[in-house]
Amino acid sequence: MALRKLQPQSPVYSTEHGKMCPACARPVKECSCRHRQQQPGPGDGVVRVSRETKGRKGAGVTIITGIPLHQAGLVDLARELKRRCGSGGTVKGDRLEIQGDHRDLLLTELTRRGWKVKRSGS
């Protein structure tokens, strides 16, 4: 039986720098390798659009989850969608938050971009 030579693994997280890129072993914020740009976000291939008011004193936001893009792609998409809706918003983790109820407009816009989109929630 042949022994397999183990390659040293780079750390995934550092208490000093936070998340680390597995390809170049640099902090994700400083990473410029292709590995980071080609990694899609988590999801099952379905983009979900919903509305949420919890913790916002009744003010609603439209939540978009399941977009298969990396972080930089999410930021670019959020910028375009905010401009299209004429409102503010943010990227929190792997989800987009657009201020106001823009579910119908975002459903058609995301479908036009080629994703399978579902309206979730009420």
| Pair (68, 94) in one structural domain | yes
pLDDT band at 5 (very low <50, low <70, confident <90, very high): low
Residue 98, phi then psi, degrees to nearest 5? -110, 130
pLDDT at 36: 45
Claim to verify: residue 65 and residue 99 sit in the same structural domain: yes
Each residue's pLDDT tens digit, 73-122: 889 999 999 999 999 999 998 889 999 999 999 999 999 988 899 998 76
Question: Three-state SS for 19?
Answer: strand
- pLDDT digit string, tens, across residues 57-87: 778 899 999 888 888 888 999 999 999 999 9
**Model confidence pTM above 0.75:** no
In a domain, 1, yes or no: no
Q: How many separate helices (H) and strands (E) can be counted in the chain?
A: 3, 7
Position 6 in a domain: no
89 with 103, same domain: the answer is yes
Residue 18 falls inside a structural domain: yes
